[in-house]
Structure formats: C-alpha cells, structure tokens
Structure 1
Amino acid sequence: MNWLLVVLGAAVGAPLRYLTDRAVQSRHDSVFPWGTFVVNVTGCLILGLLTGAVASGAAGPHLQLLLGTGLCGALTTYSTFSYETLRLTETGAGLYAVGNAAASVVAGLGAAFAGVWLSAAF
C-alpha cells in the first residue's frame, strides 16, 4: 500500500514539475533557470508544511508518503538544478551559476522553515 501512495504522488508531481517549469521559463527572457528554481522552492515549502503537520500530529505517515516522498520527490529536482548550474558555468554565465546556487539554497531553506512555521500557526 505504501508504494502506491508514492506512485500516486509522483504521478501528479512529475507532470506538475514539467508544466510549471515550462510555464515559468517561458515568461522570462533570461538564462537563469527560473522554472527549476520555482519548482524546487515550492517543493521545499510544501515539504516544510508537511513536516510541521506530521510533527504536530495533524498529518500522518500516509500523507507524508503521498505528498512528501511522492509529490515532492517528483516535483523537485536536484539533478536538473545541478545540470543547469553547470551549464551556466560552461557557457560563461558564472555569475548566474553562483546566483542560482546561492539563491536556491537560501530560498529553499527559507521556504522549508517558513512551511514549518506556517504549519505551527494553524
């Protein structure tokens, strides 16, 4: 049963990641990978909310598998973040690469902490 929850969450997360990435990136005329940045930070926020809810007892392990492992696991992408950062460096956009790495870590951690904080507020 647990594997089915992960599969269901991933079945939603993977296309959501692709569609969100394409929608966001199409609105920016920049080499900065805004689409990947948005999906990763959004995933961090969702995972923070979920972690806070599970820690407080407001959500259980099944929801954690569905949304945390399944949805967020397929929505977020460390490999694409790494690849895009490397490509920025290789194409001479080193400042964008550094900015992507720094902003992704800061915004991702900030979103996760905000999610935990928000879940405690409810």
Structure 2
Amino acid sequence: MTYLWIFIGGGLGSVARYGVSKAATNFYSGNFPLGTFLSNILACLILALLIVFVVPKNSESTWLQPLLLVGFCGGFSTFSTFSNETTQLLQSGNTGVALLNIAVSAVVGVGLIFWIRSLS
C-alpha cells in the first residue's frame, strides 16, 4: 500500500510542478529558470512544514509520509530539471545566471528547511 501512496503523491506533485512552471513562464521571460526554482523552493517549504507541524501529530499514520513527503514533495521538486537547465545556461554562455541558480537554489532551499526545523 505504501507504493500506492507514493505513486498518488508523486503524480499530484508532478502536476503541481508543471502548473508552477507554466505559471512562471507567463510572468517571467528571462534566462533564470524561475519555474523550476519556485517548484524546488516550495517543495522544501512544504516538506519542512510537514516535518515540523504535521508528521509529529500524525505519527500513527502509515500513509501520510509516503503520500506527502516522499510522493508529493518528491514529484513537486526536480533535481534533474534543475541540473539540465543549469547545464543549458552554462552551454549558452550564461555562466553568471547558472552560478546564481546553483547558489540561490542551494542556499534558499537548505536555509528554509533549517529555519523551519529550528521552529520546533
């Protein structure tokens, strides 16, 4: 049953990521991969909030963590797209934007999770 929860959550997370990416391209047309960045940062935010505020109150649940943490957050975030877009930026000569993407994604993602976990 665990695999089913992961499957459902992953599908929902992937659809959410697609929606965020499409929405971002409607508002921003620059070189920075904003849609992927927002998806990854929002996934970090959701994961941290779930770990700190939801999971401890639902420790008996056998479906919550596979559905939301592994499935949804895993499907919503995307390291492969981040890596591909960063490589494309490097290959097209946008080295500064590529390095900014790497630095900001890592610092904001880890910083956000660290900060929220410190609230517990």
Q: TM-score, normalised by structure 1?
A: 0.88
The 8 Å contact of residues 32 and 96 in structure 1, kept in 2 or not, is answered as: yes
Q: Cα distance, 1:54 vs. partner? A: 6.2
* Percent of paired sites with the same residue: 38
Which ranges of structure 1 fall in alignment gaps of 5 or more residues? none
SS at match of 2:21: helix
For 2:95 and 2:50, the matched residues in 1 are separated by 35
Q: How does 1:30-109 map to 2 (within 5 A)?
A: 30-53=30-53, 57-60=56-59, 61-109=62-110
1:53 Cα offset (Å): 3.5
Q: Secondary structure at the match of 1:58?
A: helix
Q: State the TM-score, normalizing by the size of structure 2.
A: 0.90
Following superposition, the deviation at residue 59 of structure 1 comes to 2.9
**Matched residues in 2 for 1:77 and 1:9: separation?**
14
Alignment length (residue pairs): 118
1:13 corresponds in structure 2 to 13
Letter in 1 for 2:21: D
Q: Distance in 2 between matches of 1:96 and 1:107?
A: 16
Q: What's the Cα RMSD here?
A: 1.6
After TM superposition, the structure 1 stretch with the greater mean CA deviation from structure 2, 17-26 or 68-77, is 17-26
- Per the alignment, residue 24 of structure 2 pairs with 24
